[in-house]
């Protein structure tokens, strides 16, 4: 320091430094928003997958618990009255008419549920020793369709042997 002269350091940031800081902050915010959108999409798909699985399992349990003579009837709103009668007609989820597979379908909350009952013998349900019960729930996952499948066998409690 020279006697009588004072040196003052200039403080603060230049315009270029402020611009760089704002750009970096904006890039960070855009990245964070993208992460939030990806997380929201994952949560939405996970929620649909959980709902689809619950609906399929619920339909299987409903078919396992109903009386054998009411196996092809469905009470979807649980009011004690049948809302749907399963058919082997190639409509509403049934792949092929007359193939011995009875089906029903229902759309709810973004999930299409299709369930089938396949007797061990074609013809009357009472003549079958068991049935294969399957439920398939289809839902959208972004641009793709995903599917959950569950199934079980159920024995005819009144079956007494081959007829």
pLDDT in tens, the chain (163 residues): 456 566 655 677 788 888 999 999 999 999 899 888 888 988 988 999 999 999 999 999 999 999 998 899 988 887 888 888 888 876 666 667 777 889 999 999 889 999 999 998 877 787 888 999 999 999 998 889 999 999 999 999 887 666 5
Do the domain assignments include residue 161?
Answer: no
Do the domain assignments include residue 7?
Answer: no
H-helix or E-strand spanning residue 119? strand 111-119
In this prediction, residue 7 carries a pLDDT of 60
Q: Which residues contact 104 (CB under 8 A, 6 or more apart)?
A: 74, 84, 85, 86, 92, 93, 114, 115
In this prediction, residue 94 carries a pLDDT of 65
Q: How many domains does the chain have?
A: 1
Do the domain assignments include residue 137?
Answer: yes
Q: Alpha-carbon distance 156 to 41, whole Å?
A: 44
Q: Is 96 helix (H, G, I), strand (E, B) or coil?
A: coil
Do the domain assignments include residue 6?
Answer: no
Do the domain assignments include residue 102?
Answer: yes
In this prediction, residue 125 carries a pLDDT of 81
In this prediction, residue 8 carries a pLDDT of 59
Show the domain range for 101. 15-155
Write down the pTM of the prediction: 0.73
Do the domain assignments include residue 3?
Answer: no
In this prediction, residue 81 carries a pLDDT of 83
Q: Alpha-carbon distance 149 to 70, whole Å?
A: 23
């Amino acid at each position: 320091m020279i006697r009588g002269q004072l040196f003052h350091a200039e403080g603060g940031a230049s315009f270029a430094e402020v611009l760089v800081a704002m750009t970096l902050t904006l890039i960070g915010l855009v990245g964070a928003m993208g992460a939030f959108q990806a997380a929201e999409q994952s949560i939405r798909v996970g929620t649909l997958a959980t709902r689809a699985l619950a609906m399929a399992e619920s339909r299987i349990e409903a078919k396992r618990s109903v009386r054998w003579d009411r196996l092809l009837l469905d009470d979807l709103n649980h009011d004690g009255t049948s809302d749907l009668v399963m058919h082997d007609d190639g409509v509403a989820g049934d792949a092929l008419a007359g193939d011995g597979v009875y089906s029903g379908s229902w759309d709810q909350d973004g999930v299409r549920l299709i369930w089938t009952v396949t007797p061990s013998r074609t013809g009357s349900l009472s003549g079958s020793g068991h049935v294969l019960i399957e439920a398939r729930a289809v839902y959208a996952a972004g641009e793709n369709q995903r599917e959950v499948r569950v199934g079980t066998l159920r024995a005819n409690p009144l079956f007494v042997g081959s007829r």
